[in-house]
Structure 1
Amino acid sequence: MSRPPLPPFTAETAAQKVRLAEDAWNSRDPEAVSRAYTPQSRWRNRASFQNGRAEIVDFLAAKWRNEDEYRLIKELWAYDGNRIAVRFAYEWRDETGQWYRSYGNENWQFDADGLMEERHASINDLPIEASQRKFRWPLGRRPDDHPSLSELGL
């Protein structure tokens, strides 16, 4: 299965890949998101490690059960060959009603078919007040006219 755009990436195709990933994650559909990864994809996410699509699906399903009102923005940081570096921020609310903005970086490596074979994520959570939220679009895909991380000063 091929998942364009394919490496080696250009500035344009790397940015497209980042937006496609953002859109998928904002769907909060673990099965759909997992199809962007190789069957044996390896992840490091904070202090947890996932290997393969089944573990990715389980991880994402648990994540989105605990992170209500999840909205994410990703931004291209760098690219080279079959690798992309991304910075991101997402906002979410826990079961007590506390809002967070989570900031992080990801390093991605793709196979020749454009499937991600490695994902390394570093993430920090900042408690925020509801009035400090910046990601207020309806759940789902971020509108094209919504400001980017850089435009928001994040």
Structure 2
Amino acid sequence: MDIAAIRRVARAAWHAVYDDILGEETVNEHLREGYAPPVLEQMIELEEVGLFVSTADDDVVAYMSCGMTDATGFGDLDLYVHPDYWGEGIGTELLHRGEQHLHELSVRKIRDEVLAENEIGNGFYRTHFEKVGERTTQVGGQEHPVNVYERRL
């Protein structure tokens, strides 16, 4: 698994989506913490976490991690596509691969949350999931509205 390539995709996607919402420094802080090589290495080693990539022209252009979040059968996923490849169906392909992994873990329903201001993310989730609620969350010391989505497996 190419950790540097996953970090490159994360950097491009996070800055494209979240700089205007959270601020560049908050995005950089999240990338430093959440995508540090030891964190990604640990995710790769954990069998219960599925980490998948999509490639185009031999380059990693998208990645997804997924796993069970609750013993009652709920799972979640994190899916990011490099902005140069948005709208090409790569996220949908990864979603289906993640669903296979989650099904093998006995996940019955995916529950995910997307910041309401994240137009790209909400567009993807509206296409593939059912919106089941709203709440707020703290990010970078500020409250942000969040849309809650579910998809039955």
TM-score norm. by structure 1 comes to: 0.30
Q: Which has the higher contact order (CA 8 A, sep 6+)?
A: 1
**Which has a greater percent of helix?**
2
**Which has a greater percent of strand?**
1
